[in-house]
Amino acid sequence: MQHIKISLRFPVLTSVMLIIAIVLSACSSQENGAQTSLTAGQAANSTEQKEMASTTPTTREYTDFQKRKVTIPVNPQKIVYVGSDPGDLLALGVRPAGASLSVIQSQIVYADLTKDIIDIGYPVNLEKLTMLKPDLILFDNWDVKTIDTLAKIAPTVVLNSELATFERMQELGKLLGKTKEADRFKTLYDEKAKQMKAKLDVDINPGETATVLLVMGDNLYVMGHQGISVSLYDMLGFIPASKVQTDLIDKKERFATISNEVLPSFIGDELFILSDQSEETIATTRNLMNSEVWKTIPAVQNKRVYTLDSSWNFDDAITRERLLEQIPDLMKQK
């Protein structure tokens, strides 16, 4: 009560200024308190983020095709691919730092997409591979000696190259965290294939057979369920000729070398011939088509023979997608 009496003796102006000072002081204290609280909150969040980052795993265990348990990075930054289907990776939006391009680059239809990828050869040039400092190696073969050698450089995962195209992509999706991309690519492919088939001028009857013959140098190869055959059988709806089914596909043979004499027994209602532009291949193809055996083949007699470049004889996702644009013109051939 004494304090109140003293304060009442101050002039009015002095009292007002005192009140203002007290209010300003209180505001300042509140602001300082808020800033202190905010700073403390930021520090707490920063500490929490660091703790979360430190506890988030950077590696995980993956069981590959050879049943090997491999510790791989959760988010690999430098992938090297050893095999014949880098198009599967590219279709997922994954660009390997290195790949076995020397054996396929002149033969594939998507060489334009591989220009900035380092060729590590096949067999692999270990010096080139090591210099790339990969954090993950993908290997679509299962030679034990090669696996052990590659695994000394970086975690190496063996892929199952015998899987169908989109099954391979699903496995890659699980391995690299790209399952949504794999699903999206398959959905778009199916839609493009549906649109393409609707525009075809020819009807493919149920049970109509087809055979793929590959001419390389002086050799003739009949393809099993491999390369362009995959698109012909799985997408267009042809079925393999009987002998192709029993002698190759049922035995899981990708292809077989054959002679002119036995060739007719492998040929279906439709014959697709693939070849390159080398002089030797051109000469072999010419000799085949001028032979008496050739003239006895029903598909030849019925003008059901289609020719195209051997670069289409792959079944990776990129090649299959681009092939959809070629099929309408291909099927118009007579």
Domains 60-189 and 204-330 agree in fold: yes
pLDDT beyond 60 at 118: yes
CATH 3.50.50.60 fits 204-330, yes or no: no
pLDDT beyond 70 at 25: no
What is the pLDDT averaged over residues 211-219?
96
Q: Which pLDDT score is estimated for 41?
A: 56
Q: Calculate the average pLDDT of the chain.
A: 86
Write the CB contacts of 285 (distance below 8 Å, at least 6 apart in sequence).
Answer: 215, 273, 275
Better-scored residue on pLDDT, 38 or 321: 321
Helix ranges, the chain (H) = 2-7, 12-55, 86-91, 126-132, 144-151, 165-176, 179-199, 228-230, 242-244, 279-289, 292-295, 298-301, 317-330
What count of residues does the chain have? 334
What is the pLDDT averaged over residues 140-145?
78
Better-scored residue on pLDDT, 202 or 331: 331
Q: Which pLDDT score is estimated for 218?
A: 94
Q: Which pLDDT score is estimated for 253?
A: 94
Better-scored residue on pLDDT, 7 or 83: 83
Measuring CA to CA, which residue among 90, 160, 101 is closest to residue 129?
101
* Range of weakest confidence among 17-26, 119-128, 191-200, 264-273: 17-26
Q: What percent of the chain has pLDDT over 70?
A: 83
pTM: 0.81
Q: Which pLDDT score is estimated for 20?
A: 37
Residue owning tokens 């800033």? 35
Q: Which pLDDT score is estimated for 23?
A: 39
Q: Which pLDDT score is estimated for 34?
A: 46
pLDDT beyond 90 at 310: yes
pLDDT beyond 60 at 183: yes
User: Chain-centre distance of CA 28, in angstroms?
Assistant: 61
Band (18; pLDDT cuts 50, 70, 90):
very low
Structural domain boundaries of the chain?
60-189, 204-330
Band (52; pLDDT cuts 50, 70, 90):
low
> In this predicted model, what pLDDT tens digit does every residue of 288-308 receive, in sequence order?
999 999 999 999 999 999 999
User: Which option is the CATH number for 60-189: 3.40.50.1980, 3.90.960.10, 3.40.50.300, 3.20.10.10?
Assistant: 3.40.50.1980
pLDDT beyond 90 at 50: no
Q: Which pLDDT score is estimated for 74?
A: 95
For residues 29 and 294, give the distance between their C-alpha atoms in angstroms, rounded to a whole number.
Answer: 99
For residues 91 and 7, give the distance between their C-alpha atoms in angstroms, rounded to a whole number.
Answer: 83
- First CA to last CA distance, the chain: 116
Q: Which pLDDT score is estimated for 14?
A: 37
Q: Which pLDDT score is estimated for 9?
A: 32
Band (155; pLDDT cuts 50, 70, 90):
very high
pLDDT beyond 50 at 235: yes
